């Protein structure tokens, strides 16, 4: 057998095994029953996923919980904290698409606010917003609520033409999304 052919076959076999291993890992993370019994701690990772994983969905190294009830932004964040998580921080287009698919154009609080300083949007982890997915349609461009609207929703049913984030009054009651990362915290 020619050595080049053997290397190609060997390389394909390894890629297949890696792909299969990745699928099995995804299955393990998605299966909530196995998550609760799995120890995620390694030398570089001391974070563990929520102990009660019923109702949590896994995506990109985080678990997500969608509430079934409605609360203010502050009370929603308190609920997430009680679950050893926080309101979701959306870091990229893939995560935004995931959230939009998960929420199916329903209204959910996310962890973004400008309540400390008007117009300076910050995530609940303290980081400044760099890439936003604000809604806009014709003459409406979000964020547009000034000091009356300092918290952010994924969508607003009464304006279905607006696709993307909406700033809104923090005292209004909506469902919320909690996020718990299994990656180590970096400073």
pLDDT digits (tens, 9 = 90+) for 77-98: 999 999 999 999 999 999 999 9
pLDDT digits (tens, 9 = 90+) for 133-148: 999 998 889 999 899 9
Cis, peptide link before residue 187, omega less than 30° from 0: no
User: In which residue ranges of the chain is pLDDT below 50?
Assistant: 1-47, 49-50
Residue boundaries of the structural domains of the chain: 52-181
DSSP string, 126-179: SPBP-S--B-EETTEESS--GGG--EEES--TT-TT--SBEEE-TTS-BEEEEE
Q: What is the model's pTM?
A: 0.71
Say what the pLDDT of residue 87 is.
Answer: 98
The arrangement of secondary structure in 52-181, i.e. its CATH architecture, is: Roll (3.10)
């Amino acid at each position: 057998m020619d050595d080049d052919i053997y290397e190609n076959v060997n390389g394909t076999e390894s890629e297949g095994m890696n792909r299969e291993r990745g699928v099995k890992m995804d299955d393990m993370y998605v299966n909530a029953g196995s998550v609760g019994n799995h120890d995620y701690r390694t030398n570089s990772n001391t974070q563990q996923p929520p102990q009660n994983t019923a109702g949590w969905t896994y995506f990109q190294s985080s678990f997500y919980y969608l509430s079934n009830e409605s609360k203010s932004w502050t009370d929603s964040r308190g609920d997430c904290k009680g679950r050893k998580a926080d309101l979701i921080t959306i870091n990229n287009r893939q995560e935004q698409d995931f959230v939009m698919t998960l929420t199916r154009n329903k209204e959910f609080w996310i962890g973004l606010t400008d309540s400390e300083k008007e117009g300076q949007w910050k995530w609940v982890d303290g980081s400044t917003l760099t890439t936003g997915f604000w809604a806009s349609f014709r003459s409406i461009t979000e964020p547009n609520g000034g000091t009356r609207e300092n918290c952010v929703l994924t969508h607003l049913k009464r304006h279905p033409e607006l696709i993307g984030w909406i700033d809104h009054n923090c005292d209004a009651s909506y469902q919320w999304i909690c996020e718990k990362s299994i990656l180590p915290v970096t400073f």
